[in-house]
Amino acid sequence: MIAKLFLTLAAALLAALLFTPESFTEVFRPLTHNNAPPIYLQTSLLRLTLSHLALVGIAVTASTLVAVAGGVLVTRPAGREFLPLARTITSVGQTFPPVAVLALAVPAMGFGAGPTLVALFLYGLLPVFENTLTALSTLPPSVLEAARGMGLTRRQRLWQVELPLALPVILAGVRLTAVISLATATIGSTVAAKTLGEVIIAGLLSANPAFVVQGGLITGLLAILIYEAFQRLESWSAHRAGLIRPQ
Protein backbone atom coordinates (compact mmCIF):
# COMPACT_ATOMS: atom_id res chain seq x y z
CA MET A 1 0.00 0.00 0.00
CA ILE A 2 2.79 2.40 0.95
CA ALA A 3 4.72 1.48 -2.20
CA LYS A 4 1.68 2.16 -4.40
CA LEU A 5 1.14 5.51 -2.69
CA PHE A 6 4.79 6.44 -3.22
CA LEU A 7 4.63 5.53 -6.91
CA THR A 8 1.43 7.50 -7.35
CA LEU A 9 3.03 10.55 -5.75
CA ALA A 10 6.15 10.12 -7.90
CA ALA A 11 4.05 9.96 -11.07
CA ALA A 12 2.01 12.99 -10.02
CA LEU A 13 5.14 15.01 -9.21
CA LEU A 14 6.71 14.08 -12.53
CA ALA A 15 3.60 15.08 -14.46
CA ALA A 16 3.44 18.41 -12.63
CA LEU A 17 7.12 19.14 -13.33
CA LEU A 18 6.70 18.39 -17.02
CA PHE A 19 3.35 20.03 -17.73
CA THR A 20 3.32 22.96 -15.26
CA PRO A 21 6.94 23.66 -14.29
CA GLU A 22 6.10 27.30 -13.49
CA SER A 23 4.08 26.12 -10.49
CA PHE A 24 7.37 25.12 -8.82
CA THR A 25 8.90 28.59 -9.10
CA GLU A 26 8.77 29.29 -5.37
CA VAL A 27 10.04 25.81 -4.56
CA PHE A 28 13.24 26.24 -6.57
CA ARG A 29 13.77 29.98 -5.97
CA PRO A 30 15.76 29.45 -2.72
CA LEU A 31 18.34 27.51 -4.78
CA THR A 32 19.05 30.49 -7.05
CA HIS A 33 21.38 33.46 -6.64
CA ASN A 34 21.43 37.00 -8.03
CA ASN A 35 17.88 36.81 -9.40
CA ALA A 36 18.69 33.84 -11.64
CA PRO A 37 15.63 32.12 -13.13
CA PRO A 38 14.43 29.27 -10.90
CA ILE A 39 12.81 27.27 -13.72
CA TYR A 40 14.55 26.12 -16.89
CA LEU A 41 12.50 27.53 -19.77
CA GLN A 42 14.99 27.68 -22.64
CA THR A 43 13.59 24.37 -23.92
CA SER A 44 10.39 22.66 -22.83
CA LEU A 45 11.09 20.14 -20.06
CA LEU A 46 8.43 17.88 -21.57
CA ARG A 47 10.11 17.98 -24.98
CA LEU A 48 13.52 17.24 -23.48
CA THR A 49 12.07 14.35 -21.49
CA LEU A 50 10.39 12.81 -24.53
CA SER A 51 13.62 13.16 -26.53
CA HIS A 52 15.56 11.63 -23.64
CA LEU A 53 13.17 8.67 -23.40
CA ALA A 54 13.24 8.16 -27.17
CA LEU A 55 17.04 7.89 -27.18
CA VAL A 56 16.99 5.47 -24.26
CA GLY A 57 14.18 3.42 -25.79
CA ILE A 58 15.96 3.03 -29.13
CA ALA A 59 19.28 2.13 -27.49
CA VAL A 60 17.76 -0.35 -25.02
CA THR A 61 15.73 -2.03 -27.76
CA ALA A 62 18.81 -2.44 -29.94
CA SER A 63 20.92 -3.69 -27.00
CA THR A 64 18.22 -6.17 -26.04
CA LEU A 65 17.81 -7.60 -29.52
CA VAL A 66 21.54 -8.05 -30.04
CA ALA A 67 22.24 -9.36 -26.53
CA VAL A 68 19.36 -11.85 -26.53
CA ALA A 69 20.33 -13.08 -29.99
CA GLY A 70 23.90 -13.50 -28.76
CA GLY A 71 22.74 -15.33 -25.64
CA VAL A 72 20.64 -17.71 -27.70
CA LEU A 73 23.52 -18.32 -30.12
CA VAL A 74 26.10 -19.25 -27.48
CA THR A 75 23.69 -21.60 -25.69
CA ARG A 76 23.13 -23.66 -28.86
CA PRO A 77 25.51 -26.58 -29.50
CA ALA A 78 26.83 -24.97 -32.68
CA GLY A 79 27.59 -21.65 -31.00
CA ARG A 80 29.10 -22.58 -27.64
CA GLU A 81 32.63 -22.05 -28.90
CA PHE A 82 31.79 -18.35 -29.40
CA LEU A 83 30.93 -17.78 -25.71
CA PRO A 84 34.33 -16.30 -24.71
CA LEU A 85 34.26 -13.95 -27.71
CA ALA A 86 30.67 -12.89 -27.01
CA ARG A 87 31.48 -12.19 -23.35
CA THR A 88 34.48 -10.10 -24.36
CA ILE A 89 32.48 -8.04 -26.84
CA THR A 90 29.58 -7.39 -24.46
CA SER A 91 31.98 -6.48 -21.65
CA VAL A 92 33.63 -3.75 -23.73
CA GLY A 93 30.67 -1.42 -23.28
CA GLN A 94 30.87 -1.65 -19.50
CA THR A 95 34.64 -1.27 -19.28
CA PHE A 96 34.92 1.53 -21.86
CA PRO A 97 33.58 4.80 -20.37
CA PRO A 98 30.60 6.29 -22.27
CA VAL A 99 32.39 9.64 -22.37
CA ALA A 100 35.25 7.99 -24.24
CA VAL A 101 32.78 6.40 -26.67
CA LEU A 102 31.30 9.84 -27.32
CA ALA A 103 34.73 11.33 -27.92
CA LEU A 104 35.56 8.62 -30.46
CA ALA A 105 32.14 8.63 -32.14
CA VAL A 106 31.78 12.38 -32.67
CA PRO A 107 34.52 12.68 -35.34
CA ALA A 108 32.90 9.86 -37.32
CA MET A 109 29.22 10.64 -36.73
CA GLY A 110 29.16 14.33 -35.88
CA PHE A 111 27.31 15.98 -33.03
CA GLY A 112 23.78 14.98 -32.06
CA ALA A 113 21.97 11.80 -31.07
CA GLY A 114 24.17 9.36 -33.02
CA PRO A 115 27.17 9.18 -30.66
CA THR A 116 24.85 8.98 -27.65
CA LEU A 117 22.97 6.03 -29.16
CA VAL A 118 26.26 4.20 -29.79
CA ALA A 119 27.42 4.77 -26.20
CA LEU A 120 24.10 3.65 -24.71
CA PHE A 121 23.92 0.62 -27.01
CA LEU A 122 27.37 -0.61 -25.99
CA TYR A 123 26.76 0.14 -22.32
CA GLY A 124 23.52 -1.84 -22.31
CA LEU A 125 24.70 -5.10 -23.84
CA LEU A 126 26.28 -6.85 -20.85
CA PRO A 127 23.35 -7.01 -18.36
CA VAL A 128 20.94 -8.40 -20.95
CA PHE A 129 23.48 -10.83 -22.40
CA GLU A 130 24.50 -12.25 -19.02
CA ASN A 131 20.90 -12.61 -17.86
CA THR A 132 19.93 -14.30 -21.12
CA LEU A 133 22.89 -16.66 -20.80
CA THR A 134 22.06 -17.48 -17.18
CA ALA A 135 18.36 -17.99 -17.87
CA LEU A 136 18.84 -20.28 -20.87
CA SER A 137 21.65 -22.24 -19.22
CA THR A 138 19.73 -23.04 -16.03
CA LEU A 139 16.40 -24.24 -17.42
CA PRO A 140 15.10 -27.42 -15.73
CA PRO A 141 16.38 -30.44 -17.71
CA SER A 142 13.10 -32.25 -17.06
CA VAL A 143 11.15 -29.53 -18.87
CA LEU A 144 13.49 -29.61 -21.86
CA GLU A 145 13.30 -33.40 -21.98
CA ALA A 146 9.50 -33.25 -21.87
CA ALA A 147 9.55 -30.81 -24.80
CA ARG A 148 11.72 -33.20 -26.77
CA GLY A 149 9.39 -36.06 -25.89
CA MET A 150 6.47 -34.08 -27.31
CA GLY A 151 8.25 -34.00 -30.65
CA LEU A 152 8.98 -30.27 -30.71
CA THR A 153 11.73 -29.16 -33.05
CA ARG A 154 14.69 -27.14 -31.78
CA ARG A 155 13.10 -23.92 -33.02
CA GLN A 156 9.77 -24.78 -31.41
CA ARG A 157 11.48 -25.62 -28.11
CA LEU A 158 13.27 -22.27 -28.19
CA TRP A 159 10.20 -20.13 -28.91
CA GLN A 160 7.55 -22.11 -27.04
CA VAL A 161 9.48 -23.38 -24.02
CA GLU A 162 12.93 -21.90 -23.44
CA LEU A 163 12.36 -18.19 -24.10
CA PRO A 164 9.03 -18.00 -22.20
CA LEU A 165 10.66 -19.63 -19.16
CA ALA A 166 13.73 -17.42 -19.45
CA LEU A 167 11.77 -14.20 -20.03
CA PRO A 168 11.53 -13.04 -16.38
CA VAL A 169 15.31 -13.23 -15.93
CA ILE A 170 15.92 -11.59 -19.32
CA LEU A 171 13.56 -8.76 -18.38
CA ALA A 172 15.53 -8.24 -15.17
CA GLY A 173 18.58 -7.59 -17.34
CA VAL A 174 16.60 -5.23 -19.57
CA ARG A 175 15.41 -3.39 -16.44
CA LEU A 176 18.98 -2.86 -15.31
CA THR A 177 20.01 -1.72 -18.78
CA ALA A 178 17.08 0.70 -19.01
CA VAL A 179 17.79 2.35 -15.65
CA ILE A 180 21.53 2.62 -16.34
CA SER A 181 20.89 4.03 -19.81
CA LEU A 182 18.39 6.54 -18.47
CA ALA A 183 21.02 8.05 -16.20
CA THR A 184 23.89 7.71 -18.68
CA ALA A 185 21.93 9.43 -21.46
CA THR A 186 22.30 12.77 -19.68
CA ILE A 187 25.92 12.99 -20.87
CA GLY A 188 24.59 13.04 -24.43
CA SER A 189 23.94 16.75 -24.08
CA THR A 190 27.70 17.32 -24.08
CA VAL A 191 27.61 16.40 -27.79
CA ALA A 192 24.39 18.31 -28.57
CA ALA A 193 21.93 15.45 -28.08
CA LYS A 194 18.56 16.59 -26.74
CA THR A 195 18.41 15.04 -23.28
CA LEU A 196 17.72 16.11 -19.72
CA GLY A 197 21.44 16.61 -19.39
CA GLU A 198 20.88 19.95 -21.12
CA VAL A 199 19.16 21.23 -17.98
CA ILE A 200 21.89 19.91 -15.69
CA ILE A 201 24.70 21.31 -17.84
CA ALA A 202 22.96 24.70 -18.05
CA GLY A 203 22.80 24.73 -14.26
CA LEU A 204 26.47 23.88 -13.91
CA LEU A 205 27.57 26.50 -16.45
CA SER A 206 25.46 29.24 -14.88
CA ALA A 207 26.09 28.16 -11.27
CA ASN A 208 22.34 27.68 -10.86
CA PRO A 209 21.62 24.68 -8.59
CA ALA A 210 17.88 24.97 -9.35
CA PHE A 211 18.45 23.74 -12.91
CA VAL A 212 20.69 20.90 -11.74
CA VAL A 213 18.06 19.74 -9.25
CA GLN A 214 15.30 19.90 -11.88
CA GLY A 215 17.21 17.76 -14.37
CA GLY A 216 18.29 15.30 -11.71
CA LEU A 217 14.83 15.09 -10.15
CA ILE A 218 13.06 14.36 -13.42
CA THR A 219 15.66 11.73 -14.33
CA GLY A 220 15.35 10.13 -10.90
CA LEU A 221 11.55 10.01 -11.02
CA LEU A 222 11.66 8.45 -14.48
CA ALA A 223 14.13 5.82 -13.23
CA ILE A 224 11.86 4.89 -10.31
CA LEU A 225 8.78 4.54 -12.50
CA ILE A 226 10.57 2.58 -15.23
CA TYR A 227 12.15 0.29 -12.64
CA GLU A 228 8.75 -0.46 -11.14
CA ALA A 229 7.15 -0.98 -14.56
CA PHE A 230 9.75 -3.60 -15.46
CA GLN A 231 9.35 -5.33 -12.10
CA ARG A 232 5.64 -5.70 -12.75
CA LEU A 233 6.34 -6.96 -16.25
CA GLU A 234 8.74 -9.54 -14.81
CA SER A 235 6.10 -10.72 -12.33
CA TRP A 236 3.50 -10.97 -15.10
CA SER A 237 5.83 -13.00 -17.31
CA ALA A 238 6.71 -15.30 -14.40
CA HIS A 239 3.01 -15.91 -13.67
CA ARG A 240 2.32 -16.51 -17.35
CA ALA A 241 5.14 -19.04 -17.57
CA GLY A 242 3.87 -20.82 -14.46
CA LEU A 243 6.99 -19.99 -12.45
CA ILE A 244 4.92 -18.25 -9.77
CA ARG A 245 1.56 -19.47 -8.65
CA PRO A 246 -1.18 -16.81 -8.49
CA GLN A 247 -2.09 -15.90 -4.94
**Tens-digit pLDDT profile for residues 32-41:** 988 889 999 8
Alpha-carbon span 22 to 33, nearest angstrom:
18
Confidence of residue 246 (pLDDT cuts 50, 70, 90): very low
Domain ranges of the chain: 41-240
Confidence of residue 247 (pLDDT cuts 50, 70, 90): very low
**Number of Cβ within a 10 Å radius of residue 120:** 28
The CATH number given to 41-240 is 1.10.3720.10
The average pLDDT across 59-77 equals: 94
Contact 174, 229 (CB under 8 A): no
Residues in the chain: 247
